[in-house]
Structure 1
Amino acid sequence: MGLSKDELKDIQGATQKSLEASLKRLRQDHVDIFQLHNTLDDANASDSISVQQVINDVLPVFIKLREKGVVRYLGFTAKGKTESLHALVETGEFDSSQVFYNLLTPTAGEEVPSNFPGQDYKQLLNNCERHEMGSIGVRILAGGALSGMETRHPLSMQDVAPIGSGVDYKTDVSRALHFENLVKEGHAADLSELAIRYAVSNSNLSTNEVGIATNEELMQAVKSVNCGPLSPSTLKQIKTVQNNF
């Protein structure tokens, strides 16, 4: 769930309303995971919330819901100020985090040069692992940019803003094409497979979400996952490309 500015005035009421609506739609008496999707400590984001608001005001409400049994696990989307994301992990109260991790945004799992053109998440996945917290890899195709194509499927969102990577979608696609040589060398069938297998290669990621628009894309994603992690030598080549963005 995401809290609007008005809903922050009554966090308990807004949270209860959101959960009840979800349970009604799902026809269930509980949900397995309840996630907060607000951006943390970003003055430029309309849905921004401070990490202290989450810890002091939102988290107690979430914990009560967990104690009641209407939610089993608590999570949050790791979007916003890097230090704030680490602070939420370190509360020890969240069970999972949706983490942005892909070929263009590797910083949640890898060290990068100081001039890397994107947000430095400072190895957030490692911190999740230290706190025995599950992680969900999101945007592993960078919103579609890692297909290497600017044109988008009619069923997909037509305007996709990058998260943690380039200044715009076109820039992300341009950087994605830097990995084409690895495809030509036979490390993967195409850029999408390379991207999916890159995410699968990080053992600190508990699971991954893959955006799809068609059954064909679903089957391609399954095939990519079944190909398994990339080899250490391939990952080394990828890191060289990333360090030269």
Structure 2
Amino acid sequence: MEYTHLGRSGLTVSRLVLGTMNFGTETSEEDSRTIMDRAHEHGINFFDTANVYGTRQGESSTEEIIGRWFAAGGGRREKTVLATKTYLPTGDRPNERFLSALQIRRSCEASLKRLRTDHIDVYQMHHIDRNTPWEEIWEAFTVLRQQGKVLYFGSSNFAGWHIAQAQEAARSRHFLGLVSEQSIYNLLNRWVELEVLPAARAYGLGVIPWGPLAGGVLGGVLRKQKEGGSSRGSTGRSASTLAEHRDTIEAYEKLCADLGEDPAHVGLAWLLAQDGVTGPVVGPRTAEQLDGSLRALQITLDDGTLAELDKLFPPPGPNGAKPAPEAYAW
């Protein structure tokens, strides 16, 4: 396993992040525990979850599944850098959503209880809250850190200027501020390259891409269809994405075949090669899928291949090969 620091912090994390969104919904608790054990066997120490994952009626939440796994002992908690999130609604009452000081406090306490731990390593805002001032948010986070309940803070789905706002507000309080930003980022969706990646690099945030395979569309969906297998990339919202970009995906899968590599592994390897990326979130439904994702760490994409990928999936903006603002201005 390869490791890196999370942004400018001293926290060491694996370059693949175990996403747990499927735990309790697509993946049974027993299989979820197997995946987490396997992740540790592979050296993956960075686990990402959220307080709203796996919350279908009558089922255990993902945090509860992880908490019971921690409670089984064997150093599971000690070996894990644990990241979870708050913001999205957890109930119908007014203060069971967003980022008020009251919500942050209650949400953190509830996550700690479900996770059966005394602290969260990286507590992430799942979205920007435009109606709560940064002074309130950072004061609430400062209290959690002083209490030892949270060590680091991160954002998710922020714009570049939100990162700047957050960091400048934290700086005025002499607070460390954000250490990570979790954004959607893949070959089909490169918008973060305009503003988010530059802002994250400037402020020392590690970028954690979610949706690295565009809902399975970059995971060899056309090949799997030809082989008669099922693929997540050919159902739901991914189906419309595939229909829109079918010619490009065909060319992409041919390029991967010429390289002798699985499209999913190439998609992850491309992200790992991007400046500022800590590691993509992989969300396996089975232990075998997790095992396969490690191949991405062994793939080095040469300049020619990277150039071919840029032709298939151009950077955003009319002058997308350049950074913002040149990407969209003279």
User: TM tier, shorter chain?
Assistant: 0.7 to 0.9
1:149 to partner: Cα distance: 2.2
Q: Is the 8 A contact 2:167 2:178 kept in 1?
A: yes
Q: Is the 8 A contact 2:180 2:207 kept in 1?
A: yes
Report which of the two structures shows the higher radius of gyration computed on alpha carbons.
2
Give the direction of change, closer, same or farther, for the CA distance of 1:19–1:206 in structure 2 (3 Å limit). Answer: same
1:185 to partner: Cα distance: 2.2
CA RMSD of the aligned region, Å? 3.0
Q: Is the 8 A contact 1:89 1:127 kept in 2?
A: no
Per-residue CA deviations over 1:196-217 (Å, capped at 9, x if unaligned) read 1111111311122112111221
* Ranges in structure 1 where 5+ consecutive residues have no aligned partner: 41-48, 110-121, 163-167
Per-residue CA deviations over 1:160-184 (Å, capped at 9, x if unaligned) read 579xxxxx44346634334123113
SS in 1 for 2:152: strand
Which residue pairs with 2:309 in the alignment? 238
- The CA distance in 2 between the partners of 1:235 and 1:218, in whole Å, is 25
Match status 1:210 vs 2:282: yes
| Selected match of 2:208 from 92, 112, 136 | 136
SS in 1 for 2:221: coil
Which residue pairs with 2:49 in the alignment? none
Q: Is the 8 A contact 1:99 1:125 kept in 2?
A: no
1:147 to partner: Cα distance: 1.6
| Selected match of 1:6 from 77, 85, 94 | 94
Which residue pairs with 1:53 in the alignment? 132
Match status 1:84 vs 2:162: yes
1:35 to partner: Cα distance: 0.7
Scaled by the length of structure 2, the TM-score of the pair is 0.56
Match status 1:176 vs 2:176: no
Match status 1:104 vs 2:188: yes
Which residue pairs with 2:300 in the alignment? 229
Scaled by the length of structure 1, the TM-score of the pair is 0.73
Match status 1:190 vs 2:262: yes
How many residues get paired?
212
Which residue pairs with 1:145 in the alignment? 217
* Ranges in structure 2 where 5+ consecutive residues have no aligned partner: 1-85, 171-176, 223-229, 317-330
Give the direction of change, closer, same or farther, for the CA distance of 1:34–1:54 in structure 2 (3 Å limit). Answer: farther
1:78 to partner: Cα distance: 2.1
SS in 1 for 2:122: strand
Identity of matched residues, %: 23
Moved over 6 A (4+): none
- The CA distance in 2 between the partners of 1:64 and 1:96, in whole Å, is 20
- The CA distance in 1 between the partners of 2:99 and 2:165, in whole Å, is 24
Give the direction of change, closer, same or farther, for the CA distance of 1:210–1:160 in structure 2 (3 Å limit). Answer: farther
